[in-house]
Structure 1
């Protein structure tokens, strides 16, 4: 931008300089009347050059702003997908029967990191049509993660509650199902910004519980 301003200034100076030099030469050859016309023409050309430069600058800024919005939209889409996938993985792990011998509770740290990433994502420049979908999806991912953590915490205090885990996580499965629908709406909108379509994979246990809720 700074280089553009310098070039615009130099072009105007060059036009005026050439005009005055030409006018000086014409004074010596033909007198002052033609000189006045040449000076007027030079001033007009300088003004036209300034307007053209301003129009070009506005157009360049518009293109740059549009490219930035598209990049932010694509970044929000990728982040939303990764966060939902991570939350879905944790939910799937939580729905595996407690007596299966599989220990996958450390996935909570990964999901929490994704929730924080969505919370810290700068939504100021996010396109208006994507903002409400992104914010709602963020709250859904947060709710899923919190519910799973609550269930685990209560089981640590009372192991007899482990058989109740699936029933207690049905609310999280409902939220997860709604979150997928939100993501699909977000993705449908963000494709216009050059994003690549992604598919959220639902685990077997999560799918089974979701089917029982319909």
Structure 2
């Protein structure tokens, strides 16, 4: 099971489809193309934090924590301002967001404007999901950041097609799990490539 399936089971893709007035299958296709960039942005944030995964856990809370997932899942139309804040934090530039959407449009055949609208909603789902699962894994907020590390290690195994959750011990203390999360389909497509493309577009 990959992250798209997990978000679908949680009702996230259905909620995004309802908000945007499109089919759930279109959202699933967009999510497959957009999630590696979102997760790659989070990987970069973890690398940039002095405390690594612990710092990323704190950042997830600052961005809205598990409440972001609840906002998207609620029957009311989602206010995407929090999602745009998340994108601003992990991508650093609207140019990167636009390039991510354009890259996903090339992969999926979906309209880039639809994918740009989808990005903040998916960013809220992922941030909220990770924050909730990190809290559940640790039982309570922990200065060790262990809950988030366990979560990322497990998800990294699932998304990278490797060891099942709980078995990806190598990723628990560092960024190994996040690296596997970034490359969801094993094709080596990393956010670095997208950011380089955005950099060329800005010149």
TM (normalized to structure 1)? 0.26
* Larger gyration radius, structure 1 or structure 2: 1
TM (normalized to structure 2)? 0.27
> Which structure's residues are more often helix, by fraction?
1
